[in-house]
Chain A
């Protein structure tokens, strides 16, 4: 009897230690290393760059002895991951926000970077994200988007890039290709997929154009109510996309981002709206530089002769103001090293693209070079105003309406309602 008792007690003790050891171990490992100089914990947004970040972090630690932890949030779950990570004792010292609307959630956690060594490296003050007078975030990448053209197919259809200088030109070329679709063996546009993996190209990126031109007219850079003055242009370009595509507009609701990318890479379509981040995907699929070019998205508004690509950023680094003094300094030092050292800038240029810092390494990304050429030729880039869209909810509303419009189950009026009325109501709902 007695022996059994001892056995039972022993088992219980074992279970108990297992439970507590399980809880304890996860804390134990991360506490090491914060000896004196502070440490860096970066919650990375871009899963495709995770490996490169891990490597560069290791290299930095070897060089300086400062521990750098990089954790990458799974695609599309950044806000959730950040919400749960930032309240931990070992919170990220470095995270990112997507422009002014994203900043609204996190401004209490943003350290003022004004005058820091990182801020001084910026090529222009316009890449800083302001919260009042404080620099809450620093842009770390500049990206461009437009219409990617398969120039080989374009010349097969009898046109060259010089033939497309305005919306009317684009419309003429696209409709001509559609008319001769069976003879040519390819379509004008890739499928404008409205699946969640692709609809941001239209509800966010394409919607930037009517917003941009309205802001230009009024000389503003954000608004609580959009008028929708250029929505007819938005309709015209969207109509052009869906009526000259590889598939029936009714099927767009189920088309994904991969579908469009594959159609373009396999030569089924001449035009493909996407951005400079798409370059490596396309070249990995076997496309070469002489087949590719990026042209502005002409919508028939503004000064089309001088319109450039849509160029801007929605990725801003923020330093956690709740972190200890040493950690904040360590983080700023790490970032400064990233944008000044050879290893750091090379990694950023290769993995991320163009960075808005003085010591940026050169890039071989063709679309970025296209953008540079447009700017050199005196064209005005279209700025990224979609960071001022009132919420995800607004984008989803516009996306749903566009999908229904394309399939014929909804009307364009619904898109206008979602765009204009949705903007006002979402803005009010988020800022009361």
Chain B
């Protein structure tokens, strides 16, 4: 069998590779080319060099949305992972109904971003209206807080499941040995459990960072970038560059922004992966 795999691996790889090329490599290369073009449809594109990048990098709104997104990503990553890990710890200690809780916490993840965005918009607007504060669309700070609450609510359950799996895979021997050596619960948590779930932390922080950066649906539905682009995140900024202007130059600008965006997301997640991987321990 081993020999057969070694011999025929190209055939096994082929279907996925073909799909990957058609669905990812080709569009990516074409997108890269288009970012140097002025175009309205991809068939009628004329090369115009670095103009698009010059515009994209000089666009104040783009940078505003970058910093808004970066701040959002940092805060939501920390909050989601800390809370998800805490809940996972609670639900792996033997408490009654932990399976029910796991299901309930996971459920928000099954609802689409747009729907969630609108539901939370109604909810938060009601609360703000009762408190006599400006509504979501009028104040970027509330928009930011709203987005953070929404993302936490949606993602904590998912990350929790990953952490639970990580915690359950820690051999009981380690914990017992630590207890016999007289370790406190705190010490067990920081010296035994956390180092052993580092692979889960790597995955979860990767997912939350990229999700935060790529956030679109929730942003569109919850605040729509209001007021006046102040709560607009990167993906929505790119979308608006593409579709809310007229004239062929805007598609190129949007495409250049999209390429910059892609490179940013790749860079940031590579740095994060390297950092958390270095903390992983061999079991």
Query: B-contacting residues of A (Cβ < 8 Å)?
Result: 1, 4-5, 8-9, 12, 15-16, 19, 23, 79-80, 83, 86-87, 101-102, 104-106, 108-109, 194-196, 250-251, 253-254, 390-393, 396-397, 400-401, 403-404, 407, 409-410, 426, 429-432
Contacts and interface: CB of A to CB of B under 8 A. Distances in A.
Contact of B135 (A15, A254, A396): A254
Nearest to B133: A250
Interface in B113-142: 121-122, 125, 129, 132, 134-139
Interface in B2-32: 4, 8, 11-12, 14-15, 18-19, 22
A102 B246 contact: yes
A104 B247 contact: yes
14 contacts: A4-B1, A15-B15, A105-B247, A109-B41, A250-B129, A251-B135, A254-B135, A254-B137, A390-B246, A393-B245, A396-B228, A409-B227, A410-B227, A432-B249
B41 A83 contact: yes
Q: Name which of A4, A254, A401, A410 has the most chain B CB atoms within 10 A of its CB.
A: A254
A86 B41 contact: yes
A400 B134 contact: no
B245 A391 contact: yes
B138 A404 contact: yes
Nearest to A22: B19
A400 B61 CA distance: 15
A19 B15 contact: yes
Contacts of B245: 391-393, 426, 429-430
Closest 7 CB pairs of A and B: A392-B244, A254-B125, A253-B135, A400-B228, A253-B137, A430-B247, A15-B15
Nearest to B18: A19
B226 interface: yes
Contact of B224 (A16, A80, A104, A196): A196
B240 interface: yes
A23 B26 CA distance: 15
Contacts of B226: 253, 400, 403
Interface string B144-183: 0000000000000000000000000000000000000000
A432 B11 CA distance: 52
A245 B247 CA distance: 39
Given A8-B8, A83-B41, A16 B15 contact: yes
A106 B243 CA distance: 13
Interface residues of B, number: 39
Interface string B186-224: 000000000000000000000000000000000000001
B40 A108 contact: yes
A396 B246 CA distance: 14
B112 interface: no
B22 to A, nearest CB: 8
Contacts of B135: 250-251, 253-254, 407
A156 to B, nearest CB: 30
Contacts of B227: 400, 403-404, 409-410
Contacts of B266: none
Contacts of A102: 246
Nearest to B251: A83
A12 B243 contact: no
A289 to B, nearest CB: 34
Given A83-B41, A254-B125, A19 B11 contact: no
B54 interface: no
B246 A254 contact: no
